Structure 1
Amino acid sequence: MEKYETPTNGLIQMVRDGLPEMTWMTFFAVLAFSCIATRIISGLQGRQQTRDPSEPRASRLAPYWFPWLGHSLSFTWNHASLFQGLRDSMDESVFGVYLRGETHDTVISPSMIKTILSSSKNSSLALDQALHNVFGNRNLIHSLQQSRNQEISDDVPGFISKESFLSEASAAITKMVQRNIPNLVSFSQSPVDQAPWERDSSKVSVVQEGESVCEADLFALVRNFVGHHMSNFLMGEAFLENFPMVVEDLWKLDTNFVSLFVGLPRYVPAPGVSAGHAACDRLHHIMSIFYRAFTAWDDGIDPGIELRELDDVSELVKERMRTFRKLEMTPGASAAGNLSLYWDVMEHITKITFWTTLHIFADSALLKEIRKEFAPYVNSSRPSREETGFPFDEPPRLSLDLDNVLESCTLLKACYHETVRLHSAGVSFRRLESDLTLTESDEDATEPCTYKLRKGEKVIMPHVAYQTDARRFSNPDQYDPLRFVVTDPASGRKQASADALGPFAEGLYGIKDNQLNERSILAFTAGIVSMWDITSADEKVLKIPNNKSTWGSFQPSKDIRVRMKSTV
């Protein structure tokens, strides 16, 4: 007997068949409606309100599309572009951005930024969040806060600015540059014979063995070379000898720093997030081992054959680890502190050295002027066979007088300042400990405005929004080091001044525009420019790549393939 389907059964089956499709359609419809409604509501909230001109303004909220997330996706993807776009669209010196359920006051006026940064009462959020989300241990903040009551100092910026430390750093870095800049590339085809900084990511290959010409990826080569030697200076040679992959892991952490900083867990299917977490875990473990070895060595106990020689660890790192010991910190908390400082120094020096070097070689007239300027203080040479009496060529030699470079090479220093302006994207974070009224200076605005910020509010200061503002720098996308060359009214001499940079971007441990960074970057840059000729591998003009958004200083959007040969 034929079985007939009842109308009720047919309706139920139809609903079952269509439920998945209806669910997805409904989900996307609700999502689209929520985003549109969020954009309308946030736009209304951020509209300019009629107010008494004599009363301080409250910050206007920048419109956003995504509920709760707000501007978080744009911040993670490219925080520099986010703040540059809002700077132009909001036309305010202070405005609000919404990040994961919280409104942050964003300040872009340099005079206001200086006011906030100069106050020691406002607590810094960047180090706290980085230690928790990136470096794996927030206990360091609690320990450092306790140290203030125990009269134990952990003043990293103060220690870096000491003349005794700077003299030690200048001598050590100068010695490394003079010894190893001639070996930036070894002209060896086999990776076994190449230096550590030439292998893998640098992709060094010999083009003409008879003429000693090679090709390399310039960013990877310069970053690895500078990173290798700055690691030796900061942590000692035994550190890198026993942990040869530490620099490579540091670069993985640096590339994914923003994703880690905002708290993306390792299972999020975003590029590099999982690799960034894994690299951070390995680095944290290495720093824990290093701390244990140092404490044993400092007590006169044999730390083991691997890390026995620790005399050449820099005084900055020694002093910091001894401070951690006084605070009775665990190896894990100490590892977070040492790793954060290590990254903070390394990322800026390595990347800004690359950008400064590239800009100089990309402009033949500028290259000629730079070499002429530092010729009395930076010299590359190779003794002839007649001079040495040997039947073979001696290796090239570099002579570097860093003190005179810092004192007399105005154009080179101006190149450094201009590179910082174009290729750094630091962001400062503060939580206000009291109500604050901010007023723009007459130099910052034709009609200075006053804003009222409340106690407990979080403040973001994106320095890139100031450094690329056409109202403050003519042709801000153009590389023009002469904008930092001024005339000293007292002596009438030309000198390089960073005053135009305004409130320079912070790192985790003080401002990036410190003497250690400047001396290191100028030493490496002068050595490379003096010793090497660098041209495009395709025999065309060297092109400056776009910035790729990373924390602190930008990476290039793509590496530059170059051809290199010695100048002597």
Structure 2
Amino acid sequence: MTPSSWTNSLRQSLVAGGILAIPFIFNYLLTLSLYHWANMRRKPGQTPPEYPAMPIIGSTFSFLWDSASFVAKATTYAGKLTCVRISLLINGIYLVSEPKAIADMWKNPNLSSPIYVYTVGLRYIFGMHEKGIEAYTADDSGPYRKPHPFSNVEPNNRIDFLTHDSLLRGLTSHAMLRIFERFQAILKRNLDTEDIGDEWIEQPDLFTFFRNNVGKAVLESLFGPSLLAINPNFTSDLWEFDEQVVNLAKRLPRFLIPNAFRVRERLLSQIQNWYNYARQHFRDSNTDQDTQWDPYWGSIMNRERQSMLLSISGQDDAAVASTDLGLIWTSVTNVVPSTMLTAFHIFSDPALLSRIRTSIFDSVSHTPTSGFSASMDKLLQKDLLQSVYAETLRLYVQSYITRCSAHECITVGDWTLPRNEVSMVSSYVAHMNTSLWNEQDGAHPVTSFWADRFILDPADPSSGPMDPSTPEATEIRSKLSTKEKHFSAKGLAGAWIPYGGGFSACPGRLLAKRIILYTCALLVSEFEVEVKDKAFEMDSSGFGLGTQKPKTKIGFRIRRRRGD
């Protein structure tokens, strides 16, 4: 090919490419114009506008690989939070970010079902086969006892309601308290096996310490000792799986992430081994008649889930194992880092540690026979401890809360969400909302930890979680019935959302809070901990999937307190 013919060929290719690009460029410019038009001329009841993106692929790559910065940018217009629709390769998602709109979502019964995220999670993350998935995709009856009037799902196939009802009964009220009592005993036993004495012991990683002690206590108290006894590698496999969840969530093929598929298969196999073992050995006589807990199934919730799930069309042991993997992963891999980070902030600040110890002094005790004990009724009322807990979750929980109205359009705030479309709330965006949270004129940015952020002092107009200049904060202060400093989360229904909100808020939130507060109370009362690496980096690769985790190891040393 001569130079002139090569040049002509290149010119023709560029011209052809330019012509082909014209529709895409036009589409992008049109979307951009409509986006600005909709935001500048907003009126109540309109559908959130499409966020500008290239046709076909939309915002897929930004959403999956640059999640935090993309979501923060997409949900902001002219410096204020807004609602927007983002286009992805397969479908679209409505991102709801305004606090008023979020609060309205929690109140609306038609936006109470998380069935869409169940379906996506079970299929792509937890490996459920398609026959099992069919029951989830077919269920449009809602999570309430009374099905939606437009739904025709058979009562025995109402997997949304049946799952939610089972979790509510198993993780709240009397059942939750019995699980928590067992957690306390197991955690103390686990810490005793660490053989920590009066002299300092060097430890390589704080997170590993919490995984081994708190994580195993959560697993055993919920699912019984047999799961771990017959599967000695289950815990290590679970944390390896946790590291791979982000890759599975991106729907990457097996040849790109073979380790993710392999560890998931190991876990699913181990869970089914547990089923077989428990069925062979369980007897009614094994059950504690008060707690309904047994050493094979653990909580009665697991026995009931077996019976309930296997009666639904398309469900077998393999499908139920995927469901249980989701429950196990959710139960353990969020509360462990949340507990660790709460304890980290307490031990990293000597002044805060002293204040916490003083504040909980009347709530804890130690005897030679039973060791450490705590009055949870009192601990749950400790303002500073609650504030530290709430602030830790605000700072580190980066979840997507997903809802879908299967049958009708819904109004939230000034927006209308179409029927049968996925709506999503980012806790990260809500928790980093500088126009709502109190930063005390920049002294305590939302990106930093402030132990007293949730403490409201009637005598100090600059205190409290909400920006004092907002009308909402002023109204809350005007209705105060006490002159004492106190923990406050009033007005934060659409702003502090680590557990989601509304009817389908995380059913394990009450248990998780007790685990975090009790563990921290035990540690500060019984141990001295010195953290060496206080400036560690957090890992945001799992953005949208739960609580952040440390990116590197956190060295520390620990010893028992010497009775001071």
TM-score (norm 1): 0.76
Q: Deviations over 1:199-237 (max 9, x none)?
A: xxxxxxxxxxx9442132112221232111111112211
Tell me the residue number matched to 1:481.
451
Tell me the residue number matched to 1:148.
155
| Whole-angstrom CA distance in 2 between matches of 1:214 and 1:49 | 59
State the shift of 1:157 in Å: 4.1
Selected match of 1:284 from 249, 260, 268: 268
Look up the equivalent residue of 2:421 and give its one-letter code. Answer: E
For 2:57, what is the secondary structure of its paired residue?
coil
Look up the equivalent residue of 1:347 and give its one-letter code. Answer: T
| Whole-angstrom CA distance in 2 between matches of 1:276 and 1:180 | 29
| Whole-angstrom CA distance in 2 between matches of 1:129 and 1:361 | 39
| Whole-angstrom CA distance in 1 between matches of 2:77 and 2:212 | 39
| Whole-angstrom CA distance in 2 between matches of 1:512 and 1:71 | 32
State the shift of 1:366 in Å: 0.8
For 1:263, what is the secondary structure of its paired residue?
coil
Contact kept, 8 Å, 1:411 with 1:485, in 2: the verdict is: yes
Contact kept, 8 Å, 2:93 with 2:421, in 1: the verdict is: yes
For 2:37, what is the secondary structure of its paired residue?
coil
Tell me the residue number matched to 1:355.
341
Q: Deviations over 1:54-113 (max 9, x none)?
A: 553331222235x43322222222433322222334645211112214232110123322
Contact kept, 8 Å, 1:70 with 1:101, in 2: the verdict is: no
| Whole-angstrom CA distance in 2 between matches of 1:500 and 1:157 | 27
Look up the equivalent residue of 2:538 and give its one-letter code. Answer: N
Selected match of 2:532 from 528, 537, 561: 537
Structure 1, unpaired ranges of 5+:
1-9, 188-209, 303-308, 384-395, 441-449
State the shift of 1:51 in Å: 8.4
Tell me the residue number matched to 1:246.
234
| Whole-angstrom CA distance in 1 between matches of 2:19 and 2:364 | 66
1:106-505 equivalent positions in 2, closer than 5 A? 106-122=95-111, 123-124=113-114, 125-137=116-128, 139-140=131-132, 142-143=134-135, 145=139, 148-149=155-156, 153-154=162-163, 155-184=165-194, 211-268=199-256, 273-298=257-282, 310-311=295-296, 313-327=298-312, 329-379=315-365, 398-440=371-413, 450-474=414-438, 475-486=445-456, 489=480, 494-499=485-490, 501-503=492-494, 504-505=497-498
Look up the equivalent residue of 1:344 and give its one-letter code. Answer: T
Contact kept, 8 Å, 1:428 with 1:505, in 2: the verdict is: no
Contact kept, 8 Å, 2:190 with 2:213, in 1: the verdict is: no
> Cα–Cα, structure 1 residues 350 and 519, in superposed 2: closer, same or farther, change >3 Å?
same
| Whole-angstrom CA distance in 2 between matches of 1:555 and 1:114 | 28
Tell me the residue number matched to 1:103.
92
Selected match of 1:562 from 545, 551, 556: 556
> Cα–Cα, structure 1 residues 85 and 55, in superposed 2: closer, same or farther, change >3 Å?
closer
State the shift of 1:240 in Å: 0.9
> Cα–Cα, structure 1 residues 380 and 290, in superposed 2: closer, same or farther, change >3 Å?
same
For 1:48, what is the secondary structure of its paired residue?
helix
> Cα–Cα, structure 1 residues 310 and 114, in superposed 2: closer, same or farther, change >3 Å?
same
Structure 2, unpaired ranges of 5+:
140-152, 287-293, 439-444, 458-478
Deviates more, 1:45-54 or 1:424-433: 45-54
| Whole-angstrom CA distance in 1 between matches of 2:60 and 2:366 | 50
1:27-66 equivalent positions in 2, closer than 5 A? 40=29, 42-49=31-38, 56-64=45-53
| Whole-angstrom CA distance in 2 between matches of 1:314 and 1:466 | 34
Look up the equivalent residue of 1:530 and give its one-letter code. Answer: S
Contact kept, 8 Å, 1:182 with 1:397, in 2: the verdict is: no
For 2:362, what is the secondary structure of its paired residue?
coil
> Cα–Cα, structure 1 residues 301 and 265, in superposed 2: closer, same or farther, change >3 Å?
farther
| Whole-angstrom CA distance in 2 between matches of 1:294 and 1:224 | 24
For 2:36, what is the secondary structure of its paired residue?
coil
1:66-85 equivalent positions in 2, closer than 5 A? 67-85=55-73
| Whole-angstrom CA distance in 1 between matches of 2:13 and 2:260 | 33
| Whole-angstrom CA distance in 1 between matches of 2:515 and 2:186 | 11
State the shift of 1:506 in Å: 4.6
State the shift of 1:148 in Å: 3.5
| Whole-angstrom CA distance in 1 between matches of 2:531 and 2:13 | 52
Selected match of 2:82 from 81, 90, 93: 93
| Whole-angstrom CA distance in 2 between matches of 1:521 and 1:23 | 66
Look up the equivalent residue of 2:384 and give its one-letter code. Answer: L
Contact kept, 8 Å, 1:380 with 1:567, in 2: the verdict is: no
State the shift of 1:140 in Å: 4.7
Look up the equivalent residue of 2:531 and give its one-letter code. Answer: S
Highest Rg: 1 or 2? 1
| Whole-angstrom CA distance in 1 between matches of 2:205 and 2:20 | 44
Contact kept, 8 Å, 2:31 with 2:51, in 1: the verdict is: yes
Look up the equivalent residue of 2:319 and give its one-letter code. Answer: A
Deviates more, 1:411-420 or 1:54-63: 54-63
Look up the equivalent residue of 2:448 and give its one-letter code. Answer: Q
